[in-house]
Amino acid sequence: MRHAAALPAAANAADFARPLSAPGRAAALQAARRLAAARLTIDRVLFSPARRTHETAAIVAQELALAASSLQAVPELYAASPQALRAAIARCHGQAVTLLVVGHNPGISEFGQQLGADAEHGGLATAAYWRVAFDAEPWLRLLRPAGSGAPARR
């Protein structure tokens, strides 16, 4: 999932500290409701510790009634490349059946495209997500470097 829309950076403020805008908060809530309607049972949420991704993850977690212990800030996800995303997810091996990763573009979109997630539509819009399902050995396939065989999609 890409974080929801954030406010522009204020003068002398870091990109890292940008909060969600009011429309961004509403869009995050709508995305969370779509996840709930899809009846996904999310076990774990990894998110970049940037304020906008943290706020997006918190809105999703609240709407889905996820335990606070299911949320995990992962510093390496801030402006992460697809390879960094892959490594962060690989570290969760065995800790979740359904994992939600909240990150930033371009890395989150590129990673989804590497997994075969709706690649014909380009990058993710803010508060959008791709759902990629795997067969029996998801973590093993995810650990493979990009280009070494695409994971099965359902």
Q: Is residue 68 part of a domain?
A: yes
Helix axes 107-114, 82-90, angle to 10 degrees: 70
What pTM does this model have? Answer: 0.86
Q: Is residue 40 part of a domain?
A: yes
Helix (H) or strand (E) holding 140: helix 138-143
**Number of structural domains, the chain?**
1
Q: Is residue 46 part of a domain?
A: yes
32 is in which domain, residue-wise? 16-143
Q: Is residue 20 part of a domain?
A: yes
Q: What is the pLDDT along the chain (154 residues), one digit of tens a residue?
A: 999 999 998 878 889 999 999 999 999 999 999 999 999 889 999 999 999 999 999 999 999 999 999 999 999 999 999 999 989 988 887 788 889 999 999 999 998 888 876 655 568 999 999 888 766 565 556 656 555 554 444 3
Asked whether the beta carbons of 88 and 71 are under 8 A apart, the reply is no
Q: Is residue 44 part of a domain?
A: yes
DSSP for 88-138 reads HHHTTTTS-SSEEEEB-TTHHHHHHHHTTSSGGG-SPPTT--------S-H
Counting every residue written for the chain, the total comes to 154
CATH number for the domain harbouring residue 81? 3.40.50.1240
Q: Is residue 6 part of a domain?
A: no
